[in-house]
Amino acid sequence: MANTNFSTLFHNFTSNRPNKSFFTNLYFITFSISLCSLFYFLGLWHHSTTTTISATGYTVSSATNIICSQPNNSITSPSTKLDFESHHFIPDPPPTAARVPHIPPCDSSFSEYTPCEDTQRSLKFPRDKLIYRERHCPSSEEILRCRIPAPSGYRSPLRWPASRDAAWYANVPHKELTVEKKNQNWVRFEGDRFRFPGGGTMFPRGASAYIDDIGKLINLRDGSVRTAIDTGCGVASWGAYLLSRDIITVSFAPRDTHEAQVQFALERGVPALIGVIASIRLPYPSRAFDMAHCSRCLIPWGQYDGVYLTEVDRVLRPGGYWILSGPPINYQRHWKGWERSRESLEDEQDGIENVAKSLCWKKLVQKEDLAIWQKPTNHIHCKLQQKIFKNRPFCEAQDPDTAWYTKLDTCLTPLPEVIGIKEVGGGGLANWPERLTSIPPRIGSGSLNGITPEMFEENTELWKKRAAYYKTLDSQLAERGRYRNLLDMNSYLGGFAAALVDDPVWVMNVVPVEAEINTLGAIYERGLIGTYQNWCEAMSTYPRTYDFIHGDSVFSLYQNRCNMEDILLEMDRILRPKGSVILRDDVDVLVKVKSIADAMQWDTKITDHEEGPYQREKILVAVKEYWTAPPPEQIQESKS
């Protein structure tokens, strides 16, 4: 009945009959609101229990848990309390290792560890032809996976050019040479440092005066001689003093009984590598050096069918010079001091002369203690001579630029073909400094497949821009004189080194043996230096060799070839404390690199490409932490 009346009222309200009054509508609205309120409160009363607490003024509803209060009254606990706690939980994840593990330091006894020239390992190899002093790298199971410490008291090297003449004793704590070579003025120990007077076995008046004597016999001033190689370099004083004449030298010597020769050279800020001519080629391309030098380097040049001098011929550019001082040159004067017989020294010199002739070299001059030969600019006459005398055949079907564990051969490396007798095999080089930006002959001739002169010029300009951008990211690189020894791990055409040519630095340009194109010859044709390297192995250098390391797409090149951690630990080994690293690569690769670099306690950051944030290629900037081995007395206490 009630529903019928309500429907009738609703119908009357919604109808549009003209006799419906305003008051009737108002009455209906009021009635509807009252009726809805009544049913709401009836439902609330039916589904809840309300406890009224007398004399308090508080009413607590267990359904809503809402408290309406009046002031100045005490609160009595409600009869029903709601539970708001969670009853469903996700179990905690199991404990895991830290996201960035700490790569531990090696024992302090490894502070001068050179993995591929380890003296203990070398003793397992033949002594014949000094094979035991060549590279012999550890297997993957033998690789140290710890950080090589600097010796206690290590200090940042003196800045160039002061470093040419002095080095901190704490950095290379070896006094053997100061005793063994005391009378030859190689190195002296004074207080907390070594002094390098510039002396040598065959230049008692000093390296500068010795170079002046060479300069009287061949032109060292016109820029035609830019790159040089010094075999058996000692502490590299010859290369050190050539730098002021704009001639850059790769000096090398084996790791032998004369402790720390190459290490001293690098500490002085002079380019050097551990190396020896034994049974494999030197790690340089053919036609690389304008000048080669041996000052009493004790290499048996005339023996083994002249194989060592034949290797010098391979790396010497057309028209280049070979300079020899020491036994047997001027033996008539020195044979007693050398404790050799005149006859044996005469035989030795005859052997060298015969090998030089078989290489078609011309002896330019022998004056007092110096003898100089010159390689021909082409092999037109040499080929005619070989047909007559047949004493040294030309190499056949052999890449003259391949030089990574490549066996030495006694055949003569042929120069590229020429048409006229006055042409230079492989192309003539501009004098320095024009040589740096001139099109390298290897590129101009098209012998480097896929690299055009236009690409070379574009690459040169590109690296000027990139080097300038790097200096905004790394204040130490931007600070003139802060760095001296630089390494470029994947040099391509040497553009990074060329962009820094006006800074007081030198760059060792590395062309990985896995690179698609062997460009190291073109780098040398620019008047720069470098070497081959497989970054799955250690470099032939001492720890703490370089102030700064640069790598362009190195880890993309090696990501499927060897362990990324091993490459980074090798970088850590050869980088000085507080030295910097700049790597450019794909962002995903750099994220992985950064995680390992953080574990080596490097301070790292990934930043944008010089073209902006939308490039996938990014740049990682890192600084190696300064830390050293504990003092010897502390080590002794911990062992006792």
196 within a domain of the structure (yes/no): yes
Q: Would you place residue 177 in the very low, low, confident or very high pLDDT band (cuts 50, 70, 90)?
A: confident
CA distance 115 to 121: 9
Share of the chain above pLDDT 70, in %: 84
Backbone phi, psi, residue 14, to 5°:
-85, -10
Q: What is the reported pLDDT for 69?
A: 39
Q: What is the CA radius of gyration of the chain?
A: 40
Inter-residue contact 561 to 474 (CB < 8 Å): no
- Are residues 459 and 368 part of one domain? no
Return the CATH number at 438: 3.40.50.150
Inter-residue contact 250 to 529 (CB < 8 Å): yes
Domain endpoint, select from 359, 389, 419: 389
Site of tokens 């004493």 = 391
Q: How far is CA 36 from CA 5, 14, 29, 49, 364, in A?
A: 16, 19, 11, 21, 122
CA distance 113 to 142: 13
**Amino acid at the residue 19:** N
Range of the structural domain that residue 269 is part of: 162-389
Distance from first CA to last CA of the chain, Å, rounded?
Answer: 108
Length of the chain: 640
Alpha helix ranges (H) inside 448-500: 453-473, 475-478, 495-499
- Closest alpha carbon to 527 in 247, 331, 251, 321: 247
623 within a domain of the structure (yes/no): yes
- Closest alpha carbon to 621 in 468, 475, 473: 473
pLDDT at position 17 over 50: no
Q: What is the DSSP letter of 156?
A: P
Q: What is the reported pLDDT for 11?
A: 47
- Are residues 459 and 383 part of one domain? no
- Are residues 445 and 378 part of one domain? no
- Are residues 479 and 335 part of one domain? no
608 within a domain of the structure (yes/no): yes
Least confident stretch, 41-45, 73-77, 257-261, 306-310: 73-77
- Are residues 373 and 437 part of one domain? no
Q: What is the reported pLDDT for 77?
A: 45
Look over the chain and give the mean of its residue pLDDT values, rounded to a whole number.
88
Pairwise pLDDT comparison (369 vs 185), residue with the higher score:
369
CA distance 230 to 241: 12
- For the entire predicted model, the pTM comes to 0.84
126 within a domain of the structure (yes/no): no
Q: What is the DSSP letter of 309?
A: H
Inter-residue contact 178 to 187 (CB < 8 Å): yes
pLDDT at position 72 over 70: no
pLDDT in tens, 19-70: 445 556 666 677 777 777 777 666 666 555 444 333 333 333 333 333 333 4
Inter-residue contact 359 to 393 (CB < 8 Å): no
560 within a domain of the structure (yes/no): yes
Q: What percent of the residues of the chain are helix, what percent strand, and what percent coil, each to the nearest 5?
A: 35, 20, 50
Q: What's the average model confidence in pLDDT over 105-112?
A: 95
> What's the total number of domains in the chain?
2
- Closest alpha carbon to 330 in 354, 349, 352: 349
**Amino acid at the residue 577:** P
